[in-house]
Each structure stands twice: as C-alpha cells, then as structure tokens.
Amino acid sequence: MLVLYVLWAVGLLFILFGFIAIFAGPRGRGVPYVPTSRRRIETMLRLAGDVRGKRVLDLGSGDGRLVITFASAGAVAHGYELNPVLVWWARTRVLLRGLRGRAHIHWGNYWNVNTSRFDIITVFGLRPMMGDLEKKLKRETHEGTRILSNTFEFPNWKSVADENDIHVYVQGSQKQ
C-alpha cells in the first residue's frame, strides 16, 4: 500500500512540475518533456566534435541522456532541469553508470544559468522561445562555443551545420 502511495506521489510531482515547465520560459513560454532519440543523440555527439575535457551544458536535461552521453565521451557535462522527478531519475542513472564527478544534474531554471563557462551547449526547446534564447546565448557565451539545437533554429543566427534536424551554431563564426 505504501509503495502505491509513493508511486502516486511521484507521478503527481512529475505531472505538476511538467506542467510548471511549460510556463517557465520568458513570457511564460516553456518546454514540455520530450526525450531526444538515440539516432539524434549520435548526430549531436558527432557534430559537437572532440568533446574530451570540454564543459558541456544541456538546457533542460530531462532523464539525463545527453549529459550521460557527453560525460561518457570524456566531457564534464552539466544539465539543468526543472522537474524534480526527472532530476532524481537522471541522478540515479548517472550514479548507476559510475559517472559521478563528470556528469552533474542540477535542479533549476536554465534561464537563470550563466552559460559563459561552457564550451558546448545543447537544447531541445520550442520555436517561440528560440529568439530569447538566441539573445541570451549571444550575450553570454565565449568565442568558439558550439550550440546544438534539436529541431528548432534560431531566428537570426546562421547555422554552420544542419543534419538530421540538429542545427549547429558557433559563437563568433559570423558578424552578428
């Protein structure tokens, strides 16, 4: 019986925070949980280039699959996620894979994260938020930072590569 109550509470939290995430972006435009497919993750890893020793940030890390992939490939990866159930699940997966120290899952709103210390940034957002995210990343990131966006393109920034619906941007690659 207790197990059922715990499962019910976890499910309720998942739905509640999933709902909150939908309104968490600027002007209330947030993003629901949709995991990236294995095929696209492979594309992202390839398009990211050599990730060994690089600092990677996943904006909205979901179940941690991108953080885990990049950390397994030699990066130090961080993910920010609003939904505490997904944070708990992602942290469990990190522990099970022995990636503590290389893969870090934070519970928080990524719009409040200073992105300047990261070399590679990944995001799977929604079209209405891409303009605000473009402004934030152009303002904060350093020369050479690679940004990989799943599905949605930035409205003004010109991508340097597009493959399998993954769009790659490099800070400083053009006059912006």
Q: What is 33-74 written as a DSSP string?
A: --PPPHHHHHHHHHHH---TT-EEEEES-TTSHHHHHHHHTT
The token duo for 40 is: 């696209």
166 near ligand SAM, judged by CB under 6 A:
no
Contacts with ligand SAM: how many residues (CB under 6 A)?
Answer: 24
Residue with smaller CB distance to ligand SAM, 30 or 157: 30
Sort 130 into a burial class: Cβ within 10 Å, 0-12 / 13-18 / 19+.
Answer: buried
Work out which of 72, 84, 88, 109 binds ligand SAM, going by CB under 6 A. Answer: 109
DSSP one-letter code for 154: P
Residue with smaller CB distance to ligand SAM, 81 or 119: 81
Contact 172, 49 (CB under 8 A): no
Question: Residue 65 CB, nearest distance to ligand SAM (Å)?
Answer: 5
Question: Residue 175 CB, nearest distance to ligand SAM (Å)?
Answer: 30
Question: Residue 23 CB, nearest distance to ligand SAM (Å)?
Answer: 9
134 near ligand SAM, judged by CB under 6 A:
no
Contact 133, 115 (CB under 8 A): no
Dihedral angle computed from the Cα positions of residues 147, 107, 13 and 5, in that order, rounded to the nearest 10 degrees: 130
User: Which residues, numbered 16-75, are part of the site for ligand SAM (CB under 6 A)?
Assistant: 21, 24-25, 30-31, 33-36, 58, 60-62, 65-66
Residue with smaller CB distance to ligand SAM, 9 or 34: 34
Residue with smaller CB distance to ligand SAM, 65 or 136: 65
Whole-number Å distance between alpha carbons of 25 and 130: 10
Helices 2-22 and 84-96: crossing angle in degrees, nearest 10, is 110
110 near ligand SAM, judged by CB under 6 A:
yes
Question: Residue 6 CB, nearest distance to ligand SAM (Å)?
Answer: 21
Residues in the chain: 176
Binding residues vs ligand SAM (CB under 6 A): 21, 24-25, 30-31, 33-36, 58, 60-62, 65-66, 80-83, 86, 109-111, 124
